[in-house]
Amino acid sequence: MTDALREELARIGDGAAPVTVAPDVWARGRRARRRDRVVLGAAALTVLVALAGLGLTVRGVAHDAAPVGTGVEAVPSVIQGVPQRLIRNYESGEVWDRRVGETDLAIGRGAMAFGSGQSVYEPVVVTAADGVYHPLELPGWYGNTTAGFSESNVPLALSPDGARLAWAWADLDAPQRSPVPSGIRIGDLRTGHVRTIRLVGRDGIVVGAIAWSPDGRWLVWQGRMQTTWTRDTTRSGPNSEVAGRIGPGGVSQAVPLTQTSSVALAIENSGRVLLVGSHGWSTWGGRGVDRGFLRTREPDTLPGDGTAGAMSPAGHLALAGGVVPTSAVTFVNTGSRAALDRNVPDPPYSEGALIQPVGWIDDDHVVVVATAAHDVSDAGWRHGETRLAVVSAPWASDDVWKPVASFDTDYEKTGEIKAPTVAVDLMSLDHPTRDFPAPTWPWSDERKAAVIGGAALAVVAVLVFVVSHRRGRRLRD
């Protein structure tokens, strides 16, 4: 600055009117700054609350009771369906979304295994220590697709102790000039090791039903020999029904079926197989053949999809409960050769129920999956609530029909829980199930859009508020 400019500025300043500054201007400025900070903090809190509120919907409905302690292995008290959006088409089959599908079977002891989906079912195992859901990509799995045994059956079975998982497999990409390699695989859920058992017959063996012995040392299976088997076509000829048992050595031995075939198969701890037909039952593989009659059963009241019954440690058998609405559990006491029915309670099954035995807690109490029927008519019946229940046998000293777990599914958003098998060794009469946290799943595209859009709207609203607030304050000042 030059001396002339300095002198001119001093002259102008001496002649200017004095400026009076209010004594509280500094305090008012500090208060305005604090207000801005509060508004910005409220904006951030609004965004976080919006995100948290949307995020809570991902976890599902919480249970009323506190979750079980870490490391306690148990069957969950609520079994939830897997979102149907997580199953995607892959070439001619269907597989899990890559975000959730697991190929490593070393997941730990399972509490429950089931097929999940709608018309096509993919395997799921819920682990017993933490209640986590594991959508599995099992090698060779074909489930109940067009190459499968039946639309209503899922060839998947968890051992009673939850340590191993058995499933049907096939290599449908094998050269068509040779039979389709197929059979049963058994995976150890603790180590991840998989044992493959090849079944041979015509163009391949389709396995539709698998059942474990109560001690988990034996398997029995039932299926069909195929005359044609491709990804798109499956065909079997007359007298194509086959069955077998797999012992501790891992070799399948053929089980002879009668000409009328057996409707259900089960296997004892000794390896003896029970074959149940429309009117009676017989045994195979022991020191002789036992036979008995099902006098209370009509030919059309036993399931026709090859589903095996549940065997108790003492060799008693519980069979699926027939057709709706004439529902009951049939108990076969192989010691007395008697077949006795246990009707479903009314209520809550005033219109009948579909009953599926899945195992025994002891020789007097069986675990069943019971689905209530609603609106029964000549046109069919509608599914109601599905529960896991403990039921006493007719010869037991107590009279029990106790619901112990519920199945939570939304048929429009989640898949059905099909053909569940349960690790009954983890259940007791006093503590049959435990509560676990609800499962978590990746967000859908719709939920992502809702979260991002909601957060953006919250930010815009807060910014508009801040600008309006500051403009109004300037006008007042």
Tens digit of each residue's pLDDT (9 = 90 or more) over 343-367: 888 888 888 888 889 999 999 999 9
Instruction: Answer whether residue 315 is part of any domain.
Output: yes
CATH number at 132 reads: 2.120.10.80
pLDDT tens-digit series, residues 323-337: 565 567 888 887 777
pLDDT reported for residue 389: 95
Instruction: Answer whether residue 51 is part of any domain.
Output: no
Which residues span the domain enclosing 223? Answer: 61-426
pLDDT reported for residue 191: 96
Instruction: Answer whether residue 447 is part of any domain.
Output: no
Instruction: Answer whether residue 32 is part of any domain.
Output: no
Instruction: Answer whether residue 255 is part of any domain.
Output: yes
pLDDT reported for residue 351: 81
Instruction: Answer whether residue 26 is part of any domain.
Output: no
Instruction: Answer whether residue 432 is part of any domain.
Output: no
Instruction: Answer whether residue 52 is part of any domain.
Output: no
pLDDT reported for residue 477: 57
> Which residues of the chain register pLDDT less than 70?
1, 9, 13-71, 89-94, 144-152, 177, 258-263, 278-279, 286-308, 321-327, 376-381, 411-412, 443-477
* 3-class SS string, the chain: CCHHHHHHHHHHHHHCCCCCCCCCHHHHHHHHHHHHHHHHHHHHHHHHHHHHHHHHHHHCCCCCCCCCCCCCCCCECEEECCEHHHEEEECCEEEECCCCCECCCCCCCEEEEEEEEECEEEEEEEECCCCCEEEECCCCECCCCCCCCCCCCCCEEECCCCCEEEEEEECCCCCCCCCCCEEEEEEECCCCCEEEEECCCECCEEEEEEEECCCCCCEEEEEEEECEECCCCEECCCCCEEEEEECCCCCEEECCCCCCCCCEEEECCCCCEEEECCCEEEEECCCCCCEEECCCCCCCCCCCCCCCCEECCCCCEEECCCCCCCCEEEEEECCCCEEEEEECCCCCCCCCEEEEEEEEEECCEEEEEEEEEEEEECCEEEEEEEEEEEEECCCCCCCCEEEEEEEECCCCCECEEEEEEECHHHCCCCCCCECCCCCCCCCCHHHHHHHHHHHHHHHHHHHHHHHHHHHHHHHHC
Total domain count, the chain: 1
